[in-house]
Amino acid sequence: MAHSYTPGLTVTEHTTIRRRRMLSLPGSVLVATGETVRANQAVARAELPGKVYPLNLANQLGVAPDEIHEYLIKKAGDPVQKGEILAENKPLIKWLKTEVLSPITGIVESISPVTGQVLLREPPRVLELLGYVDGRIVEVMPQQGVVVETDCSLVQGIFGIGGETRGEIVIAVTSPDEALTPRHLTADMKGKVVVGGSFVSSDALARAKEVGVAGLIIGGIHDKDLRALLGYDLGVAITGRRVRLHPNGRKNIHASFRSCGAAGFYFRRHANSCRCHSARNHHSQRRRRTGRSPRGNRAAAGRHPDRRPGSHHSRPVIWKDRRSRKSAARAPEDSDRE
Amino acid sequence: MAFQELAKTAHPLNVIVATDCGSTTTKAILIEKVGDEYRQTYRGEAPTTVEAPFEDVTRGVLNAIAEIEELSGRKILDGDKILTPNRAAQGDPKTGVDIYISTSSAGGGLQMMVTGVVQNMTGESAQRAALGAGAIVIDVLASNDGRLPHEKIERIRTMRPDMILMSGGTDGGAVTHVVEMAEYISAAEPRPRFGATYKLPLIYAGNKDAQPQVKKILGEKAALVLTDNIRPVLERENLAPARNKIHDLFLEHVMQQAPGYKKLIEMAGAPIMPTPAAVGVIMETIAKREHLNLIGVDIGGATTDVFSVFEGLFNRTVSANLGMSYSISNVLAEAGLANIMRWVPFTIDEQTLRNRIKNKMIRPTTIPQTLDELQIEHAIAREALRLALIHHKSLATALKGIQQERTISDVFEQQQSGKTLIDMLKLDLIVGSGGILSHAPRRVQSMLMMVDAYEPLGVTRLSVDSIFMMPHLGVLSTINEKAATDVFVRDCMVYLGTCVAPIGQGKDGDRCADYVITFQDGRVDKGTLSFGDLRLVPLAADQKASIAIQPAKQVNLGAGAGVAVTREVQGGVVGLLLDGRGRPLQLPTDHASRVAALMKWYQAVDLYPVLSAEK
């Protein structure tokens, strides 16, 4: 089995974490420093500009681009309703009349006398940014976002799909070695974050969907089952139609027990053996090599109800290269505290 | 060029630390002046920390430098600061360095969207300008790209580039289409990848007559920079001004927003260069110094960069989705399972292979531990290299859409404009760089990966970057050419040998060519190369030999079918590779024959240790 070194993954019973919650475009922050927030509470809001619909009026009316102003009923900035007349010509014979109707409800954003194009825009969509964890606001960045701090248990996974979710944590298996099967998933797990063991089968995934769990945290999955679940092949990519995740946007979506429905997947190699990635082992390795204590950035998590220290498999970290590779990731000077 | 600024130092450069922040690992090297020459002395490596959970590129840099400290015994770091200059003058030569320099492709590198009016004319020119500046082109929008206006707008909205380059129209030509594209961009309100509050840098390098309209439409919505038209007339490209602006904006805007780069810029004594730009400098220098036609490749974790210099014309492409860690799944998707498995001399079920590949993707620092894992990685690398070269060939072309003068002699051979500049028969040297090539356990593995992927024709020399330091030397060459040249010649470039590959195909065992190799010491090695043979003749790096080849009737070595060729060939750490497998290279289709052929070839060149033991 190949060996890898993945820095910063943590499993810890108690820690204080800070999560930076940032809008993707400037908006307004709804909370103040020191305020207590809930995970599902909006902490910031922005308006995402609506979709744009270009219409080439010059072409549709059969006139030169710099003449379209003579035919316009609406001007730039005017609101329009779907089906409303945007422009019309005035022929001598009435039945030769051409009317250009608005395909959307929105506003007339711009009219170009160079290209003869009119751009219509749908109303903006409100984007709300949620708190992500129950905690307190420790920093506000005006127009951009906030930093939320909370005390919690933390389990970091390496990889997840499906974005953020939240729910009560339920431990479905008796040990990390145990695979999650359909029989582990019961109707009372609806809306909860279910912690499985070493592996999830396609049957168990189907059952989880049927039950309506909020999230699954597991140690391994077959690539083919993941493909079937997503409907496409997951690949970290920068360009092209297969873009699903981006190296930089690739969130180490951390398996955590309170507010994130992501999983610490390890793609399974053999049907009867599966590795569960252990941050704790990496840390002990790192301590041995560097003498420094690891302090990775932690994802949000609530308190683990049934944490058993050292319950993960061991995965030694070996660098194999032409030259010695002794260094390990250094502790970041981030805001997290253990 | 922006990068050719003077370094922020007045003292002599005797100790230099350089890093390359790759998408997977950050590689640091220490260069010291030993006597009159510069030598690379120590190397450190650490995982790149540009992404969550660290989101600060300098952590990885400090870790890599800390490894150099441990290995060399030199004190370089004082907390999070690099000690400069070296304290030799104060009687403490083992403390500090004279300068710290860096390149970067971490966090996806420099990602650009380019626009043109006609896709294969100004669209391609804009693409070449961006690629030439070391950027990854995430999309090319053009008036005739087949997408409807709202699709274009939606595409601009969803992609979050670091920068947009707009081109289109010749100077004095129609402005309508380029203004239309400006309107689409304005309507999409594009946002940069990093930073919510700063304006997206946008370079306009199209028809100069449209500049006032573009300024009016986009002046408020983007950090607009106007520059010379990249295609002032159809017959000429003028890429340099746009490339320089890309470099300037990369440093002024993009780098300031990426996680930790502000600190990295402050730490560095010279401008940070995008990795493809730095490697390009080195490749161009090699080609110019030795008057060679060259293909270079840097295969990384997320991208594969291909460089070529043919007849003095330099081209660079960045294949953004082909790489050995983050992008490894895309290599499988683009090449297909069958193409990857054709290089592996055993069977493996699809599910196991896919799981392995996905594990590598999510844990990009994974290193193979068993022979079969190594063979699979090498198989994937062959396909990544092959696909990246196909991409490069499609863009390294003569200008399209230009008027051609034809004479009566062209009646039977009318060629379209835009023919690729890559001519494998005229190729003199292939240079490989990147982890999988530089760190292959045996150098012959690097050589065969490149031979299998590129299928060189005729006589071609191959070399590899010893421990992956070309990016470092590229940026070093902009501040101290002598230091870069010294290290490049003595420590970086490892000549693998020469490949002799006749063009043509035949039945296994049939005569392909007769050869006579005359060594410098007078020894003569005569033989017959049969189809299906792969033969390795030892020839040390400092040795040359003369090879006279008489190809079979239907076989060509560049001088025509059946025409004898005599060439002087240079040795290398691997030697002289006589490749009788035929060109184009075709592997047997049935499984048993293919495995037998692979085993025969791998044993012939002693490619893998277990196979050697079996032998």
User: Among residues of chain A, what percentage have pLDDT more than 70?
Assistant: 67
Token pair in block for residue B91: 């009687």
pLDDT category of residue A289 using cuts at 50, 70 and 90? very low
Q: In angstroms, what separates the C-alpha of B224 from chain A's closest C-alpha?
A: 19
d(CA B280, CA B8): 23
Average pLDDT on B407-430 reads: 75
Average pLDDT over residues B65-82: 94
Least confident of B83-92, B186-195, B334-343: B186-195
Determine which helix (DSSP H) or strand (DSSP E) holds B17, and give its type and residue range: strand B15-21
User: Within a domain: residue A81?
Assistant: yes
Q: Which residue has the tokens 């699979």?
A: B376
pLDDT value of residue B262: 87
In this structure, the strands spanning B458-465 and B493-501 are antiparallel
Which regions of B397-480 does DSSP assign to beta strands (E)? Answer: 429-433, 458-465
| Rounded Cα gap, residues B137 and B156, in angstroms | 13
Classify domain B109-267 at the CATH topology level. Rossmann fold (3.40.50)
- Structural domain spans, chain B: 2-106, 109-267, 294-396+417-614
Q: Chain B, 512-551: which have a CB under 8 Å from a chain A CB?
A: none
Residue B253 confidence (pLDDT): 72
| Contacts B333 to A, Cβ<8 Å | 233, 235, 242
Q: Which residues are paired to A126 by β-bridges?
A: A47
Is the Cβ of B23 closer than 8 Å to some Cβ of chain A?
Answer: yes
- Are the beta carbons of B169 and B206 closer than 8 angstroms? yes
Report the domain count for chain A. 1
Assess if residue A83 is contained within a domain. yes
In Å, the largest CA–CA distance within chain A is 91
In angstroms, the CA B248 to CA B227 distance is 12
Write out pLDDT tens, residues B348-396: 888 888 888 988 888 888 889 999 999 999 999 999 999 999 989 988 8
Spatial separation of the C-alpha atoms in residues A195 and A257, rounded to whole Å: 8
**What pLDDT does residue B195 have?**
67
Asked if B107 lies within 8 A of A5 by C-beta distance, the reply is no
Model ipTM? 0.73
> Which chain A residues are closer than 8 Å to B362 by Cβ?
158-159, 265, 267
> The pTM is what?
0.78
Q: Looking at per-residue confidence, does B543 or A236 come out higher?
A: B543
B104-126 as b/e: b if 16+ CB within 10 A: bbbbbbbbbbbbbbbbbbbbbbb
Chain B residue with the nearest C-alpha to that of A65: B176
Give domain status of residue A314, yes or no. Answer: no
Taking only the tens place, the pLDDT of each residue in B230-262 is 999 888 888 889 988 888 888 777 777 778 888
Long-range contacts of B335-342 (CB under 8 A, 24+ apart): B335/B380, B335/B383, B335/B384, B335/B386, B335/B387, B339/B383, B340/B376, B340/B379, B340/B380, B340/B383, B341/B379, B342/B379, B342/B587, B342/B594
- Give residue-wise pLDDT tens across range A20-55: 898 877 889 999 999 999 998 999 998 888 888 888
Residue B415 confidence (pLDDT) above 70: no
Give pLDDT tens digits for A248-288: 322 222 222 222 223 333 343 332 222 223 333 333 333 33
CATH of B2-106, one of 3.40.190, 2.60.40, 3.30.420, 1.25.40: 3.30.420
Q: Angle at the Cα of B309 (from B303 to B312), degrees rounded to 5?
A: 150
Q: Which has the higher per-residue pLDDT, B413 or A30? A: A30
State pLDDT tens for residues B397-406.
777 666 656 6
How far is the C-alpha of B303 from the C-alpha of B276, rounded, in Å? 10
Q: Which amino acid is at B437?
A: L
In angstroms, how far apart are the furthest CA atoms of chain B? 77
pLDDT at B207 over 90: yes
Number of helices and strands in chain B (H, E)? 19, 24
Beta bridge partners of A88: A99
A307 part of a folded domain: no
Q: Which of B51, B60, B66 is nearest residue A250 as measured by Cβ atoms?
A: B51
Residue A172 confidence class, pLDDT cut points 50, 70, 90 = very high
| Confidence band, pLDDT 50/70/90 cuts, at residue A334 | very low
Q: At A130, is the secondary structure helix, strand, or coil?
A: strand
More confident residue, B434 or A241: B434
Mean pLDDT within B484-488: 91
pLDDT digits (tens, 9 = 90+) for B121-148: 899 999 989 988 878 888 999 988 888 8
pLDDT of residue B410: 60
Q: Is the pLDDT of residue A8 over 80?
A: no
Domain carrying residue A109:
52-121
| Alpha-carbon span B357 to B365, nearest angstrom | 12
Residue A231 forms part of a structural domain: no
- Cβ distance A156 to B326 less than 8 Å, yes or no, reads no
Residue range A224-252, pLDDT digits in tens: 898 888 887 776 555 433 333 223 322 22
Q: How far, CA to CA in Å, does B257 sit from each of B264, B436, B497?
A: 11, 31, 44
Pairwise CA distance, residues B102 & B271, whole Å: 8
CA-based nearest distance B350→chain A, Å = 10
Res. B152: pLDDT tops 60: yes
Q: Which of A213, A207, A173, A223 is nearest to A193 (CA)?
A: A213
Predicted confidence band at A293 (pLDDT cuts at 50, 70, 90)? very low
Among A49-53, B211-215, B510-514, whose mean pLDDT is lowest?
A: A49-53
- Tell me how far apart the alpha carbons of residues A129 and A148 are, in angstroms, rounded to a whole number: 12
SS3 content of chain A, % helix, strand, coil (to 5): 15, 30, 55
Lowest mean pLDDT among A232-236, A300-304, B273-277: A300-304
Report the CATH number that the domain containing residue A112 is assigned in CATH: 2.40.50
More confident residue, A296 or B568: B568
pLDDT at position B509: 92
pLDDT digits over B290-324, tens only? 899 999 999 988 889 999 999 888 888 888 778 99
Mean pLDDT, rounded, for B330-351: 90
| Lowest-confidence region among A112-126, A172-186, B545-559 | A112-126
Q: Is the peptide bond before B502 cis (omega within 30 degrees of 0)?
A: no
Tell me if B187 and A121 make a contact (CB, 8 A cut-off). Answer: yes
Residue at A236 is within a domain:
no
Q: Which pLDDT score, from 0 to 100, does residue A313 have?
A: 31
Q: Is residue A140 part of a domain?
A: no
Residue A305: per-residue pLDDT? 30
**Residues of chain B contacting A115 with CB distance shorter than 8 Å:** 176, 179-180, 183
With pLDDT > 90 as the criterion, what percentage of chain A qualifies?
29
Residue among B180, B357, B365 whose CB faces A4 most closely: B365
The per-residue pLDDT for B404 is 59
